[in-house]
Structure 1
C-alpha cells in the first residue's frame, strides 16, 4: 500500500455542495450562526477571550473551529455552574 492509496479521494459532488462547511467565517457568518451582534463579538474578544480574526487583505476571517471551540467552552462553563 502506498501513501497515495491512503489519501482520501475528492468527492466532486460533495465538494460543490453548499453543505460543505467553510474553514473560515466572516463577521456576518458569526452573527448569523451564533446570534451574537457585532459589538458583542468585539466585546467578547476584549473581555472573554473570543478568538481574534486573521486579516487576509482587507477581510477579517475567523477560524470556524476556534469560534466553535470557544462557544463549547462557554456552554461547558454554564453547565458546570448549574
Structure 2
C-alpha cells in the first residue's frame, strides 16, 4: 500500500519499507506510514532512515495557519457550547 493510499486509515500492524526519494523531502512521506498504527510495537521498519527527517520545524506560514485554525476552533466551541 502506498503512503497516499494509507492516509486516514488506522491499521493493526504495518511493515514499512522506507525508501527516501531524491530531492527535498516532505515530512509526510515519513510521518504518514508511521502514524497508521496505535502502538509502536505494531510497526516493523525494514530500512533505516534519518530520524532528523521527523524533526523539521514548521514554517512561519504553517504556524500562522495553525493559529488561525485554533481561533476558529475556539470560536466554534464557544458558539456551540450548549449543543450536545
Confirm or deny a common fold (TM above 0.5).
Answer: no
Q: TM-score, normalised by structure 1?
A: 0.24
Higher relative contact order (CA 8 A, sep 6+): 2
Q: Kindly indicate which of the two structures has a greater share of residues assigned to helix.
A: 1
Q: Kindly indicate which of the two structures has a greater share of residues assigned to strand.
A: 1
